[in-house]
Structure 1
Amino acid sequence: MEEFIPQPQTHPGKTPGPQPGFRGAYPGRFVWNRNSPDYFNDTLALLWIDSAGVKHVREFPVNTDTGDNSYDTTSSLLPNRLYRYTNGWHRDYNALSMNEYAYNWEYNTADDANANEHWDCDRNGWLNTGSTLDYIRVGSAHNIHMGSVDAPLGRARVAGWSAGCQVIPGMANWTAFINSAWTGSGDRVDYWLIDARDIDRSLWGQTCTPDGSHDCPFRITSFPYVHSHTTVGAASRFSQYNCSTANEGGPEVVYEVKIPRHGSLTVTVECASPVDIDIHLLVMDDQRACLTRHNTTFTRAVAPGRYLIVADSYVSGGSTYSGAYTLHVNFN
């Protein structure tokens, strides 16, 4: 680090709010910008209340993916998820440090396992070449820190400044950010990373009638949740998930669930033979973003955030086993 980085002052009267990051949206806008790789084209919105009780919001440019690094040393945080940070260190200066390990919690990231220098899953915000070799893995040390970049924002490249950390470019931006974000060493900071495409459309006055499609999934708003439906007549967008080799080429029904806290999610499906409906838990709307699946029931530890449950029709021997089912969902 060539530049001197000033240390922030402790502000005991300041109250930090949740810090949202928006992948694929420039500061001042919430419109998906296609998130070209290796640029500072995301937004970190800093929220806080000062000692006088005045509320503040300030937006900063940031990258929420990786820079141009080798695949075995890089991974991107998955969006639509809460990550717990602390006022801590990055190398030799104060920054916001990933602190999930303090809660004995493993968080997931996306890894460029085939070393083609971009994520093949478009829902990670990068390119889509059709490869299935990228995968979800456990992450570590994805801090929020500074990148010493000297170039116009539209041309500045992330390059080696990030192997997956959230990096704010330039000394002026970083100083303004950390002086406003910092409260005291060891204080907790909640960071929500959101894919700009997944901002609830109702915020813009757009509504849809939930029908179980990918564009307008059924919404699970309370637990326990029970829903009887059928996959017959539904669309078939997914055929094979990264969490299984099963042929799920039949029609599927999609559910959205927003988890409010860390806990366990249990999903069960019931269907009468010969109907065969399998259930999948996804972190985003992509068949390569599957955390777990089963043909009857599963329980999965989940962090606060947005998930999709997909009830998909099994295919075997040229036959599609779609039909009626009942879905049970509970959270503890």
Structure 2
Amino acid sequence: MKWQQAVQDYQDYLRIERGLSANSIKNYSLDLKKLVNWLSVMAINESPLNISEETLQQFIYEIAKTMQPQSQSRIISGLRGFFNYLVFEEYRKTNPLELMESPKITRKLPDTLSTKEIDSLINAIDLSHPQGERNRAILETLYACGLRVSELTGLKISDLFFEEGFIKVSGKGDKERFVPIGGNTIKFINIYKNEVRIHIPVQPKAKDTLFLNRRGNPLTRAMIFTIVKQLAEKAGVRKKVSPHTFRHSFATHLLENGADLRSIQQMLGHESITTTEIYTHVDTTHLTEVINKFHPRK
């Protein structure tokens, strides 16, 4: 089996069997192509079926010179998945990366905004501006539902189940989940949708897309970042603020107010609760308050 055929077969497996998105499949393929290119440059003639652990260790050693630990870890994980696939399909008997350890990664705690800072960003919106109501609805939705920026830009009118108090969100790998939405956020979305959006010349491909630019096209990720950055500057918030900061704040504030980790995991759309557990380390001040309030030897 040649590398080109193996990569193509793996892509088909990820799409059909695993149901991954085109973007995820592309990322996995890029990691494999790095290995294939390196083998070509080094004139190493080893196929996917007979490549050795030593050769792969040499490849990882070389890329480690130019990559951060997080990128190294991602490539090792991606290649390990590829060779697991070959073992599963009985092309190989063993995974040459099975015993290889990934580099230790220091997890950076996410920045969060206080409720006062979130209010100041929203209050900085000029509602007399044509896009003011839209921008308020965007920020309210980011914070109220903990959405990723791609989930926000992909939100459709047909995803709004306001009578039931939920929105349907298409997350990573096109996995769908239902997220609760509060009355205030519903009110702001309806103001935008019923009083502003109806006056926009909507392009045919965007008829069901909720948030649009003034030309009637879906908003891009970059535009959402720009909106948030400009509002942070206007409100005088000195933290590094991005759309993802609202997602972090959503999870942190829920945890601080007593929500259980499993519920937060479901609302965020995390596949593993380990990812959600980072929020248990965000606010040490809150943890100190818990000890002072509840521990018998405070």
Task: Calculate the TM-score normalised by the size of structure 1.
Answer: 0.21
TM value normalised by structure 2: 0.23
Decide which structure has greater helix share: 2
* Bigger Rg, which one: 2
